[in-house]
Amino acid sequence: GSKTETDQAMKVDSKGAGPVESLDSKPLRISEGRTTEGMLPVYFNYDSSDVRKDQVARVEVNADFIKKSTKYEVRIEGNCDPRGTNEYNMALGERRAQSAKKYLMNLGVSEAKLSTVSYGEERLLLQGQDEMSWAQNRRADFVVVQ
């Protein structure tokens, strides 16, 4: 190949995928749970608000997403399975949301971009009375606030 061919190949290559598509241009969809696409919900053990080792990678994905999307704030929604009293679950949901928030801040996400809310057991994703349903309901969702 002559020098010009190489130059052209380089030019095409540097464009690659083209400009990063702005989030404005498409409606924000849901990835899993009630979490905005681009992020992932984080799941918790029964009666626990600690971020599990197997969930750390999900929090890291969310941290990267939030740091890249400068315009958006993210609401962390704590959810519980239906066992336990409503009051207890509201408090547990709040601890879960706070725990996820703290983790994100440790990963360099600005606190100003994060808010938390607890839904306790008010917004169950799955109604089943079995471990699979309960496990899905014990989570923090990450929702872009536009």
> What pLDDT digit, counting tens, does each position of 97-125 carry?
999 999 999 999 999 999 999 999 999 99
Tell me the whole-structure pTM to 2 decimals: 0.81
Beta strands in the chain (DSSP E): 30-32, 35-36, 42-43, 73-79, 114-120, 139-145
CA 114 to CA 123: how far, in whole Å? 20
Mean pLDDT computed over 44-57: 98
Tell me the torsion sign for CA atoms 137, 121, 33, 67: negative
Give the ranges where 52-125 is alpha helix by DSSP (H).
Answer: 56-68, 86-106
